[in-house]
Structure 1
Amino acid sequence: MAHLPIGPVRPGGTGPQTSARLLASVREAALAGKVPRTAPRAVIGESWRRALRLGVDPDNGTPNGVLSTDEIEHRRRSTPIAEILPGLRDGLVSVADAAWHIMVVTDAEGRVLWRDGSLAVRRSADRLGFAEGASWAEDTVGTNAIGTALITGTPLQVHSAEHFVRTHHGWTCAAAPLHDPRDGRLLGVVDVSGPVASVHPATLALVSAVARVAEGELRTRHWAAVERLRSVAAPLLARIAGQALVVDGNGWTAAVTGMAPPDRVPLPAQARAGQVWLPSLGLCELDPLPGGWLIRPGARERPPAGNRVVLDLSGAGDSTVTVHGPAGNWAQPLSPRHAELLFVLALHRGGRSAAQLAADLFGDPSRTVTVRAEMSRLRRTLGGVLAHRPYRFADGVEVELLRPLRGHELLPRSLAPAVLAERE
């Protein structure tokens, strides 16, 4: 079945209004449970199905309230996006204003934190509830560039009747996710939105490029902070006999003595001073420093039989893994790929070969190099919790898998065959 050409490229001279009418007919057929003559793009069709399962009103969306001014300000102060906002504005606001568009920046929940650009378009957005503090997540307004990009983790343009909610059909939106390069965490989305008639072919490419530049600025700021920490750490480590290292708050190594320097030491989600078990280093002593931690490894204790691992995939946000052991608990957020790998290993306690994992994740058993690289990173993080030959959770480790209440919400960004099969 052919896919409808949408967005800025319209073969055969298809104009915005004609394209909008075609999309509207496709949407109406899909919402009525019929098979449209022309299929929507796969990412749009999947989003429509999610919105239907969530019970989003296709005419008006689902009310979700607007954040208070105090809460908006709190979220603005709490996000690293505030550091790169000037760069986002420099790259997009003047272009958006000239094209009768607005620039919007949201947090990872899809809440609008900043909005700038054409005054006339902002007034139109107000009438839609597209205002600061509003939720633009899929569970509130269905398919849209912001909410759907938060789900897929990739840049996306949504045009006219590709929007799930009818009142948004006069708009076109292009959005790109923003990630924190320090830990890969999804911070939010930057979006440029405006009337359908003013859509421009280069909008999505521009938004994506500006988002990557902004992430690069965060990366530069991060390494500058690591360098500052290194200047503090070097004289401190010179006075310590034995193994020790200094890391920043995200676990990136600033300085080391008496041991091979790891790029990063995964820290507990709530690091604390004192004796802490780190799967990659064993039992350690943690001491706080300005901007980081001094870590002094002790005996390289491995988790004895009876340790418990909780793989939490139940939430809509980041997945986490928590290791419960005799020296306390250790928890870390997981990247989407590591969440997929641990999920498959939780299903197959007998273990999986690299080829089997490649088929589980990519549908291609030949992609073993990628699998081995990712499993190597995971084993450095989780230490004795994971074994290999075959890859598996170690013997004697109890594994608890927490799934979402609704099966279709399992790892919603994942396209791994093993995950898709479990959603059904």
Structure 2
Amino acid sequence: MNVARLAAVDAAQAARLLNEVREATLAGQRARIAPRPVIEQSWGRMLRGGVDPEHDVRSRLLPSDEVRRRREESPLRHILPVLREGLLSVADVAQHIMVVADPEGRVLWREGSAQVLRKADGLGFELGADWREDVVGTNGVGTPVVVRRPVQVFAAEHFVRSQTSWTCTGAPITDPRDGRLLGVVDVSGPLETMHPATLAWVDSVAKLGEARLRELHLCSLERLRAVAAPVLARLTGRALVVDRHGWAAAVTGMPYVRRVSLPKSLTPGRRWLPSLGSCGVEPLADGWLLRAEEEPLATAARRILLDLSRPSRCTVTVTASAGSWSRELSPRHAELLFLLAEHRAGRGAAALAEDLFGDPSRTVTVRAEMSRIRRYLGELLQHRPYRFCDNTEVEVVLPDDPRALLPQSTAPAVARKRNAP
């Protein structure tokens, strides 16, 4: 059922039909029209998690100073002009509001039609509100956080009854540097004001925001490179200058390294870093000067911990004899590392393509993603076939409920694991 098109033709009929589907599903009966897969899967998570569809449960709002702090720390503040230009001019006329939330589903910015803003207040859709899916049910902020793709939620597709007069369209915004989720931009309003193209519109503006972030990152690296060049010219041995996130601005005495994984609380001094080993770390402008010591690189690891227990944040932690480090994974990298952990003997590119897409011919995509993974796992990940090193212990932490495994994934192999008895 094309809900968006039906709503554009007859919003009242769409609302009635969706309400029938919701009531039948929650009663454990077969509806004459099945919910859309993304909605059906979300409702399943809500039922398993104990969210009450008949009661509006709200977390306490964040204090205003905490909202201010999160705004100041969020990279999304840099792209608010892009989001406003792309969404607000239409949203205000069409009786919508624009909402920007952080990765935890907390509302940090909210603008648009004054009339709709007042209605949103009645739903608890306020600054500092918690709109995680497992708190307020299926919605256009919390559900995109979980599935990591744009989602439109019409009327009674909302799990909680109090929201069923509302329609939300949200798209995740990720950091173009590493795929980390930065938050969600959402356009919301009454069902009758929504258009079939709203989902594509919101997703396009979110991608424009990501492009702006990429542009800002390249500009910052250029500024750092101008500072780094004369410094590196005076040095001998292996050294590089990276920004605060580990992206390389300039390199000397060694092959080019695109990025180095840095601990969150890096401080000056002698440190052990993945792919470089023991390094001297010195602050330089808005980054770090890393001087690799002339000794064999510390690449032998003892343990890899792949944590997939939280739907919205998957991580890999590597523990070696000289130290440990962690990295948040993009959804695709989480899928690939999970598949390799399932197949310790190794998996070729065609087999991984079959696992991910149901199409063994899509090896180019697999090889490109595996190349990106090897940039931070280095020799811990071997190829021909792709596999973890034999001398490495690999531990995978899964969700308590197998059906909650990588909910954003549509990979056939992951779906089989979710549904395994």
TMscore range, shorter length: over 0.9
| Map of 2:162 onto structure 1 | 167
Q: Deviations over 1:313-333 (max 9, x none)?
A: 222332111111121112211
Distance of 2:128 and 2:181 partners within structure 1: 19
Residue 141 of structure 2 aligns to a residue whose secondary structure is helix
Distance of 2:127 and 2:288 partners within structure 1: 37
Please show how residues 49-198 of structure 1 align to structure 2 within 5 Å: 49-198=44-193
With structure 2 as the length reference, what TM-score do the two structures score? 0.94
Number of equivalences:
418
Q: Deviations over 1:103-134 (max 9, x none)?
A: 11111111111111111111111111111111
Are 2:213 and 1:201 equivalent residues in the alignment? no
Question: Residues 62 and 139 of structure 1 are in contact (CA less than 8 Å); yes or no, is this contact kept in structure 2?
Answer: no
Are 2:288 and 1:307 equivalent residues in the alignment? no
Distance of 2:403 and 2:69 partners within structure 1: 32
Are 2:43 and 1:45 equivalent residues in the alignment? no
| Map of 1:26 onto structure 2 | 21
Question: Residues 277 and 330 of structure 1 are in contact (CA less than 8 Å); yes or no, is this contact kept in structure 2?
Answer: no
1:10 to 6, 11, 25: 6
Question: Residues 358 and 368 of structure 1 are in contact (CA less than 8 Å); yes or no, is this contact kept in structure 2?
Answer: yes
Distance of 1:132 and 1:232 partners within structure 2: 40
Moved more, 201-210 or 250-259: 201-210
Structure 1 residue 230: Cα displacement? 0.8
Q: Which portions of structure 1, spanning 4 or more consecutive aligned residues, are displaced by more than 6 angstroms?
A: none
Moved more, 283-292 or 148-157: 283-292
Provide the aligned C-alpha RMSD in A. Answer: 1.9
Residue 82 of structure 2 aligns to a residue whose secondary structure is helix
| Map of 1:261 onto structure 2 | 256
Matched-pair identity in %: 57
Residue 10 of structure 1 aligns to a residue whose secondary structure is helix
Distance of 2:361 and 2:266 partners within structure 1: 39
| Map of 1:286 onto structure 2 | 281
Question: Residues 302 and 384 of structure 1 are in contact (CA less than 8 Å); yes or no, is this contact kept in structure 2?
Answer: no
Cα distance change on mapping 1:269 and 1:402 into 2, 3 Å: farther
- Structure 2 residue identity aligned to 1:173: C
Distance of 1:84 and 1:347 partners within structure 2: 39
Distance of 2:217 and 2:246 partners within structure 1: 12
Q: Deviations over 1:287-308 (max 9, x none)?
A: 222211112223342433x611
Question: Residues 260 and 274 of structure 2 are in contact (CA less than 8 Å); yes or no, is this contact kept in structure 1?
Answer: no
Question: Residues 275 and 299 of structure 2 are in contact (CA less than 8 Å); yes or no, is this contact kept in structure 1?
Answer: no
Distance of 1:65 and 1:86 partners within structure 2: 29
Question: Residues 237 and 252 of structure 2 are in contact (CA less than 8 Å); yes or no, is this contact kept in structure 1?
Answer: yes
Distance of 1:350 and 1:220 partners within structure 2: 41
1:389 to 384, 388, 406: 384
Structure 1 residue 380: Cα displacement? 2.5
Are 2:232 and 1:249 equivalent residues in the alignment? no
Moved more, 211-220 or 266-275: 266-275
Distance of 1:295 and 1:135 partners within structure 2: 40
With structure 1 as the length reference, what TM-score do the two structures score? 0.93
